[in-house]
Amino acid sequence: MATITFCYKTDVPFNEEYYRNKHLTWCNEVLKPLGMQRYQVTKFLQAMDGSKPPYQLTTTLYFESRAALQSVLQSEVSQEGLKDLVNFYEGVPEIFLGEVVYQ
């Protein structure tokens, strides 16, 4: 299973309501037919030492295969998703591609 993870930095304005109600709805409607299996959103409370975490939130999208993820990344659909960023985040997220190796 292939993944793409978006990391949203702490202290950068983030509209969680828009993200939850609009952007994630778009992900389900548009990306599921293209091979997205599910997504997971994690909101961070603190680092282990009690300090602020470097990210306020991360989202990982899980795709059935690397080919499915690469197909989406090379399509106009991914550009639509990236263009929507300005509606909920005032920065540029760090983005990582990965692969599930243990579950």
pLDDT digits (tens, 9 = 90+) for 9-28: 999 999 999 999 999 999 99
DSSP state of 81: H
What is the predicted pLDDT for the residue at 72? 94
Q: How far is CA 61 from CA 5, 46, 49, 65, 85, in A?
A: 6, 23, 28, 12, 16
What is the predicted pLDDT for the residue at 50? 97
pTM of the predicted model as reported, rounded to 2 decimal places: 0.94
What is the predicted pLDDT for the residue at 20? 96
Low-confidence ranges of the chain (pLDDT < 70): none
What is the predicted pLDDT for the residue at 103? 86
What is the predicted pLDDT for the residue at 68? 95
Structure tokens that stand for 97 in this block:
């591609």
Structure tokens that stand for 94 in this block:
């760090």
Residue pair 69/6 in contact (Cβ under 8 Å)? The answer is no
Structure tokens that stand for 89 in this block:
């985040």
The dihedral through the CA atoms of 4, 70, 91, 79 has a sign that is: negative
